[in-house]
Structure 1
Amino acid sequence: MTRYIRHAAAFCALLLLALLVNATRIQLVQARSYDENPANRRHTIARYGQPRGDILVGGKPVTGSKDSGQQFRYERTYKNGPLYAPVTGFASQVYGTNLLEGAEDDILAGTDPLLSPLPLWNDLTRARNPGGHVVTTLDPAAQRAAYEGLGDRRGAVAALEPSTGRILALVSTPSYNPEELSGTDSAVAQAWTRLNQAADKPMLNRAVRQTYPPGSTFKVVTAAAALDAGVVEDVDEPTKSPDPYRLPGSSVRLTNEVEGCADASLRYAFAWSCNTVFAKLGVNVGVAGMRAAAAGFGFNERQLRVPFRVSPSTFDTRVDQAQLALSSIGQYNTRATPLQMAMVAGAVANNGSVRTPHLVERTTTDDGDTVSATGQRTLRQAMNPATAVQLRGLMTDVVERGTGKNAAIPGATVGGKSGTAQHGVHNSGTPYAWFISWAKADDAVEPGVAVAVVVEDAEADRGDISGGGDAAPIARDVMGAVLGR
């Protein structure tokens, strides 16, 4: 009898050991696969089982959370949702997250280990920290000025602080209310379908995800390349540029919208945007020189994040001489985001140095303790400091006596460059109106803001559309909001 009891006890011990081994295998070896299994809803239920941390603008939250009483309990809310949608993005129980809501999801959801003083204990107990907060660099006055300036038109505005790279405004219109995508009911699915099928693409972040031909605003890059390469040594000397200019290896003749461009000086050509002068300068600099100059400003950079991804702006490097001429005036395959063109203006304002743009000042715990802070870094040196000084003078001339008079601000020095970019089959589309600029208050040591504005559907007859007329007033209002003018 005793032998049977011993055998039964040994068999039970073996079963217990097998159970412990299997439990260990499931909890340690296979835990990740179970956690990441789409059928496992525990993680999602826990994720929405507490309020989400907030995104702050000017020290005040522009997001919130409300208790829905449903299984996915807390739904995201937004204050002035359309105004800040190109920054916040959305946080949806059904469609996930994007933009800041996505890039800073671990902080906002409370899953980042840095939020806990004892992260190992949280791993063992499955405890969840309260969601942290994301403090942005945005200037609320500049953001609103950009949004109201664009109004009902399609377009975008990007503004930054040249000396630091802090993004002060990021606006895209038309916009949408991200709160429509919060929750799990049928209205969320209907909103998703409607927004994605809308012809005017309200969910497209035109400021960082859409690239446009930059038109004459790219002449800032071409001028910098010509000055750095010594192709132009004196901005007031004739450039030996014919009008019209026959594109090399082609029968196409490039013309201008204004008089006086034949053999014009760089100063005159820049102020009045002479296509012939800059096309010829680009050819004289050469493909390698133009490629290097464009890269110095950030073109062809594919890793830029702010912290969410920015679509790369491009300067085609496999071009013939005629294509190079057109690329040098911001046409052909040259493409740029509004943020990229704000970086171009910022480089001129910041002695040729391009600072890495960033949208997050710091992240904090729920109690306000700093978790991480964004350092200020130089992305590239776009041009010699002496060249930047010359370009600041040229851009100032544009506003004081050229095509950018609508950007002038009392009590401040403003430099700018207007642009009208052709696009579409045989240039049949409504031209894009561009304006890029920087501004320095008279009582300041250095420029405080650089801005880029693009308007897709300018309110004018096709022949009358211009960056100076349609985009410059928006840039002026944004710069004035930052400077307090």
Structure 2
Amino acid sequence: MIRYIRRAAAFCLLLLVALLLNAARIQVFQADQLDDNPANRRRTIDRYDQPRGNILVGGKSVTGSKNTDEQLTYERTYTDGPLYAPVTGYASQTYGTTLIENAEDDILSGTDPLLAPLPLWDEITRSRQPGGNVATTVKDSMQRAAYAGLGGRRGAVAALEPSTGKILALVSTPSYDPERLSGTGSSVTDAWRQFNRARSQPMLNRAIRQTYPPGSTFKIVTAAAALDADVVEDPHAETDTPSPYVLPGTSTTLPNEARGCEYASLAEAIRVSCNTVMAHLGVDVGLDGMVKAARKFGFNDSGLRIPSGVARSNFDTDMSNDQLALSSIGQFNTTATPLQMAMVASAVANGGDLKYPYLVDRTTTRSGTTVHQNGPRPYHRAMSPRTATQLRQMMIDVVEQGTGSNAAIDGATVGGKTGTAQHGIDNSGTPYAWFISWAQAPNASRPAVAVAVVVEDAAAKRADISGGGSAAPIARAVMEAALRG
């Protein structure tokens, strides 16, 4: 009898061990797999059971959370949603996250280990901290000036602090209200469908995710390449460029919109925007030299993050000389984001030293304790200090005596470059209006801001589109806001 009891006990013990091993297998070894199973809603429920941390502009929150008393308790809210959508992105219970809401999700959702009071605290206690906050580098006055200046037209503005790389404004219009995507249900899916079907593409972040032919604004890059390579030793000396200029290896002539470009100097070619001179100089620098110069400004960098990913600005690395000539004036396959062209202006303003652009100043706990602080980082030496000094004066002449007069600010030193980029089959599309610039306050030791503006309003009359007419006044308003502090 005792023998049978022992056997039964041993069998029960074996079953118990098997149960414990199975429980360990499920709870330890398969925990991550079960957590990630789409059928497991617990993680989603846990994610929304507390308010999300906030995104700050100038110390004030531009986001919030509201209690819905539903299973997914807290929904994201936005203050001035369309104004700040290109900065914040959206945090949707249905469609996920984008931009800062995505790049800083661990901080905002409270899952970042840096928020815990002790190392491994959350792993040991299986707990989650209150969502932390993300303080941006954006200045509210500059963001509003850019948004108002664009006035709902298709376009974008990017503004940088040249000495640090801080992004002071990042605007894309037409925009959208990210709060309409926050929750669940038919209203959210209807809004998603509406935004994505709109011809104006309001959810496209034109400032960092859309590239355009930069047109004549790219001539600043070509000028930097020519000066650094000593292709041009005296920017005020005549060049040997005829007008019109025949593209190398072809019978195609390149015209000028401006007058007086025949044998014009580099300085004059920048001031009145001569296509012929700049195309010729690009060919003289050569493909390798132009590619090297473009890369120093950030072109062809597919890894740029601010912390969200930025679309790659392109300068082809394999071209014939006629294609190189066109690329050197911002045409052919040359494309750039507005942020990239703000980086070009910033490099000139900062003596040739280009800083890495960044949008997040610091992250903090819910109570305000700093978790991580960002700061200036070197990106590239885009040109020599001597070349930067020469280009600064050329850009000043564009505003004071040339095509960029609409960007002038009383009492301030302003440098700029206009651009009207052709595109479409046989250049039949409405041109993109560009303006890049920088501004320095009286008695200041260095420029306060560098700006790039692009306007691509398909509803405008072709003759009314120009960098000096459409884009320069927007840049001026942003620069004025920067100089006011």
> Which category of TM-score, normalised to the shorter sequence, fits these structures?
over 0.9
Confirm or deny that 1:159 pairs with 2:159. yes
Judge conservation of contact 1:458–1:465 (CA < 8 Å) in 2.
no
Equivalent residues in 2 for 1:441-456 (5 A)? 441-456=441-456
C-alpha deviation, 1:120, in angstroms: 2.7
Confirm or deny that 1:296 pairs with 2:296. yes
2:228 corresponds in structure 1 to 228
Which ranges in structure 1 are unaligned for 5 or more consecutive residues? none
- Within 1, Cα distance between the matches of 2:256 and 2:84? 40
- Residue identity in the other structure for 2:243: D
1:244 corresponds in structure 2 to 244
Judge conservation of contact 1:458–1:470 (CA < 8 Å) in 2.
no
Mean CA deviation greater in 248-257 or 167-176: 248-257
1:127 corresponds in structure 2 to 127
Judge conservation of contact 2:327–2:333 (CA < 8 Å) in 1.
yes
- Within 2, Cα distance between the matches of 1:196 and 1:38? 25
Judge conservation of contact 2:439–2:450 (CA < 8 Å) in 1.
yes
Q: SS of the counterpart of 1:108?
A: helix
2:204 corresponds in structure 1 to 204
Confirm or deny that 1:364 pairs with 2:358. no
- Within 1, Cα distance between the matches of 2:120 and 2:304? 33
- Residue identity in the other structure for 2:456: E
Which ranges in structure 2 are unaligned for 5 or more consecutive residues? none
Cα deviation per residue 1:122-168 (whole Å; 9 max; x = unaligned)? 22332111000000000100000000000021000000000100000
TM-score normalised to structure 2 length: 0.99
Mean CA deviation greater in 117-126 or 344-353: 117-126
- Within 2, Cα distance between the matches of 1:226 and 1:463? 32
1:397 corresponds in structure 2 to 397
- Residue identity in the other structure for 2:41: R
Judge conservation of contact 1:241–1:277 (CA < 8 Å) in 2.
yes
Judge conservation of contact 2:164–2:375 (CA < 8 Å) in 1.
no
1:114 corresponds in structure 2 to 114
Judge conservation of contact 1:53–1:132 (CA < 8 Å) in 2.
yes
Cα deviation per residue 1:194-236 (whole Å; 9 max; x = unaligned)? 1011111000000000000000000000000000011111111
TM-score normalised to structure 1 length: 0.99
Q: SS of the counterpart of 1:417?
A: strand
Q: SS of the counterpart of 1:420?
A: strand
Cα deviation per residue 1:375-427 (whole Å; 9 max; x = unaligned)? 32111111011000000000000000100011011121000000000001110
C-alpha deviation, 1:458, in angstroms: 7.3
2:261 corresponds in structure 1 to 261
1:311 corresponds in structure 2 to 311
Mean CA deviation greater in 52-61 or 110-119: 110-119
Mean CA deviation greater in 29-38 or 197-206: 29-38
C-alpha deviation, 1:119, in angstroms: 4.8
CA 118–16 in structure 1, closer or farther in 2 if over 3 Å, else same: farther
- Residue identity in the other structure for 2:77: T
C-alpha deviation, 1:240, in angstroms: 1.1
1:275 corresponds in structure 2 to 275
Judge conservation of contact 1:459–1:470 (CA < 8 Å) in 2.
no
C-alpha deviation, 1:461, in angstroms: 3.3
- Residue identity in the other structure for 1:103: A
Q: SS of the counterpart of 2:199?
A: coil
CA 195–312 in structure 1, closer or farther in 2 if over 3 Å, else same: same
- Within 2, Cα distance between the matches of 1:121 and 1:457? 53
- Within 1, Cα distance between the matches of 2:120 and 2:339? 40
Mean CA deviation greater in 464-473 or 386-395: 464-473
C-alpha deviation, 1:4, in angstroms: 1.8
2:431 corresponds in structure 1 to 431
2:32 corresponds in structure 1 to 32
Judge conservation of contact 1:57–1:138 (CA < 8 Å) in 2.
yes
Aligned residues: 485
- Within 1, Cα distance between the matches of 2:252 and 2:206? 33
- Within 2, Cα distance between the matches of 1:460 and 1:3? 97
Confirm or deny that 1:105 pairs with 2:105. yes
Q: SS of the counterpart of 1:129?
A: coil
Q: SS of the counterpart of 2:271?
A: helix
C-alpha deviation, 1:311, in angstroms: 0.2
Judge conservation of contact 2:275–2:329 (CA < 8 Å) in 1.
yes
Mean CA deviation greater in 2-11 or 102-111: 2-11
Confirm or deny that 1:89 pairs with 2:96. no
- Residue identity in the other structure for 1:235: P
- Within 1, Cα distance between the matches of 2:177 and 2:119? 35
Mean CA deviation greater in 122-131 or 64-73: 122-131
- Within 1, Cα distance between the matches of 2:463 and 2:151? 22
Cα deviation per residue 1:284-337 (whole Å; 9 max; x = unaligned)? 000000000000000000100000000000001111010000000000000000
- Within 1, Cα distance between the matches of 2:122 and 2:256? 67
- Within 2, Cα distance between the matches of 1:18 and 1:48? 36
Cα deviation per residue 1:237-275 (whole Å; 9 max; x = unaligned)? 001110000000111101111211000111111100000
Aligned CA-pair RMSD: 1.0
- Within 1, Cα distance between the matches of 2:329 and 2:197? 34
1:349 corresponds in structure 2 to 349
Mean CA deviation greater in 405-414 or 336-345: 405-414
- Within 2, Cα distance between the matches of 1:14 and 1:376? 63
- Within 2, Cα distance between the matches of 1:301 and 1:121? 38
- Within 2, Cα distance between the matches of 1:465 and 1:121? 59
CA 10–460 in structure 1, closer or farther in 2 if over 3 Å, else same: closer
C-alpha deviation, 1:27, in angstroms: 1.4
Mean CA deviation greater in 432-441 or 117-126: 117-126
- Within 1, Cα distance between the matches of 2:267 and 2:194? 49
- Within 2, Cα distance between the matches of 1:394 and 1:121? 58
Q: SS of the counterpart of 2:120?
A: helix
